[in-house]
Amino acid sequence: MEFTIALDVKAELGEGPIWDAARHRLLFVDIMRGHVHDFDPATGDDRVLDVHEPVSVVVPSTRGDYIIGTQSGFYRMDPADGKTTRIALVDTNIAGNRMNDGYVDSHGRFWAGTMSMMGRVHGSLYRLDPDLRVSRMISGVAVSNGIDWSPDDRLMYYVDTHTGRIDVFDFDAKTGSIANRRPLVNVPHSAGHPDGMIVDAEGFLWLALWAGSAIHRYAPDGRLDRAYPTPMSHPTKCAFGGPDLSDLYVTSASIELKGDARAAQPHAGSLFRAKPGVKGRPAHRFAG
């Protein structure tokens, strides 16, 4: 699988790509710069909305606006002018915490977690319901990261990066409850650190490996199906996009590259694209 540059954006910490099928655009963030990117692959146009604080995740809503996770909590964002309206604060009593990755389930609930920028196990995974209530679903998290669900909606997959694993839960789609956490995939430390994750139309998991220069595709039973080397050492997350969801987009980061390493990767932080030969699933919209 060949990766090409879709957008040479030079993000510090590109993350959270998601295909907005209604507008045929790819959304993603540059976390520490506080930027939400609204990219049109057909024209190459890239609008940047400035949140004025770290922003880790963006998802479209059924109302036509965006829901974002920032350093301080959940917000609505107007895609026309970038104006934000607070929904709920989270973890503001914990110094050094910020929100990280997230995704929307089949019932329109937005799941997003927090992490400590000081290396502590002070994070949590939260669920924002359509009625705007926030529930803490998992505590004792170091770096809350990739999250997605099996095509039959019976399982939820979840990454806490510092565990070096993809875990799986039993999932009740009707109530949004989770139970019976257990390891599904153990990633060797030498392979990199598990970061963003997404499930394709066949139910296989696509995992970006931070500092691992690779994307791994895992079968639903946890078996490594394919390993794709990437031209960047710090891929962060995949998203399927395009009219038939056959394009694979990958965000990346440059923030940890110094000196010779940065010179060797002049396109680190870019948005990359590939044709994996499999298709993705439409991303759900927040239903609030």
Residues carrying an active site annotation: 195
Instruction: Please tell me the distance from the alpha carbon of residue 157 to that of residue 169, in angstroms, as a whole number.
Output: 6
H or E element, residue 168: strand 165-172
Instruction: Please tell me the distance from the alpha carbon of residue 178 to that of residue 134, in angstroms, as a whole number.
Output: 15
Residue 275: other Cβ atoms inside 10 A = 13
- Residue 226 Ramachandran class (φ > 0 left, ψ -120 to 50 alpha, else beta): beta
Instruction: Please tell me the distance from the alpha carbon of residue 35 to that of residue 28, in angstroms, as a whole number.
Output: 9
Give the helix ranges, DSSP H, for the chain. Answer: 259-264
Beta strand pairing call for 205-210 and 193-199: antiparallel
Residue 215's identity, in one-letter code, is I
Instruction: Please tell me the distance from the alpha carbon of residue 268 to that of residue 281, in angstroms, as a whole number.
Output: 27
**Contact (CB, 8 A) for 86 and 67:** no
